[in-house]
Amino acid sequence: MDDVEYLGLVASSLATLAFLPQVVKTWRSGSARDFSLATLLMLEAGTGLWMIYGVLRDAPAIWLGNGVTFALAGYILSVKVKGLPSRLGAPTEGSEPSAP
């Protein structure tokens, strides 16, 4: 692994760790309303393909980082999807007490 690949590892680490504070924030707030659904879906598709690219190129900086990002962004996507029904008028858990 040469020097350029190490630079890639730093870039990959930054981009990968970047999603950790986002997951913590989204975990606490339970809200991903400001996120675009299309954006999250395309990010998942994009990081998925980058993983394949990285494996074919034998470039750990690429497939490792994108694999973690794929997982973390997947969590944001799951929160976003869970929040969608309330936008369609369906009741949100705990938003209103109701008789059984």
Per CB under 8 A, 57 contacts a second copy = yes
> Measured between alpha carbons, how far is 48 from 26 in angstroms, rounded to an integer?
22
> Measured between alpha carbons, how far is 80 from 16 in angstroms, rounded to an integer?
20
- The pattern of x and - marking residues 35 through 54 that bind a second copy according to CB under 8 A reads xx-xxx-xx-xxx-xx-xx-
* Least separation in angstroms between CB 36 and a second copy: 4
Interacting residues with a second copy (CB under 8 A): 4, 7-8, 10-19, 21-22, 24-26, 29, 31-36, 38-40, 42-43, 45-47, 49-50, 52-53, 56-57, 61
